């Protein structure tokens, strides 16, 4: 079974750093890109960026460029999303998703989500 399992919920203070993870299993991790998607409370889905685990090439939505970093460790089939200095506005659910299909691709499956709460 293809699965993406994300790390658990986090509660952080503004200014703190954070890295959340997404571990793939049941498929060749380096054969599919991984994207990260944000969902703020009560809001819709926003594509943040993606990584090709085979060479760690990334590209980001302009809305998130410079605010987050996406990385991957193919030796342990895990992708990461990290912040160097969190803000209260980073409070959201974050999903990773495997991209399938050709160049355009679509997202399947999705991880279960990691809830990040940033509050003083």
Partner 1 sequence: NFMLTQPHSVSESPGKTVTISCTRSSGSIASNYVQWYQQRPGSAPTTVIYEDNQRPSGVPDRFSGSIDSSSNSASLTISGLKTEDEADYYCQSYDSSFWVFGGGTKLTVL
Number of residues that bind partner 1 (CB under 8 A): 22
Q: Which CA distances in Å does 1 have to 67, 106, 115? A: 33, 18, 24
* Nearer Cβ to partner 1 (84/103): 103
Nearest CB to partner 1, comparing residues 27 and 47: 47
What is the DSSP annotation of the chain? --EEEEPPPEEE-TT--EEEEEEEESS-GGGS-EEEEEE-TT--EEEEEEEETTTTEEEE-TTTBTTBEEEEEGGGTEEEEEESS--GGG-EEEEEEEEESSSS-EEEEE---EEEEE--
In the complex with partner 1, the residue whose CB is nearer, 59 or 85, is 59
Query: From the CB of 50, what's the least distance to partner 1, in Å?
Result: 8
Q: Tell whether residue 66 is a contact of partner 1 (CB under 8 A).
A: no
Which residue number, 18 or 113, has a Cβ lying nearer to partner 1? 113
Asked whether position 57 contacts partner 1 by CB under 8 A, the answer is: no
111 binds partner 1 (CB under 8 A): yes
Q: Does 21 bind partner 1 (CB under 8 A)?
A: no
Q: Which residues bind partner 1 (CB under 8 A)?
A: 35, 37, 44-47, 50, 59, 61, 95, 97, 101, 104-113
């Amino acid at each position: 079974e293809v699965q993406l399992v994300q790390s658990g919920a986090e509660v952080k203070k503004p200014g703190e750093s954070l890295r959340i993870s997404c571990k793939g299993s049941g498929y060749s991790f380096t054969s599919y890109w991984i994207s990260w998607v944000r969902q703020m409370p009560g809001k819709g889905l926003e594509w943040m960026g993606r990584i090709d685990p085979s060479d760690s090439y990334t590209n980001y939505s302009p809305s998130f460029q410079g605010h987050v970093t996406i990385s991957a460790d193919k030796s342990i089939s895990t992708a990461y999303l990290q912040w160097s200095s969190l803000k209260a506005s980073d409070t959201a659910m974050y999903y990773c998703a495997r991209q399938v299909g050709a160049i355009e691709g679509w997202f399947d499956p999705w991880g279960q989500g990691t809830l990040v709460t940033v509050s003083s």
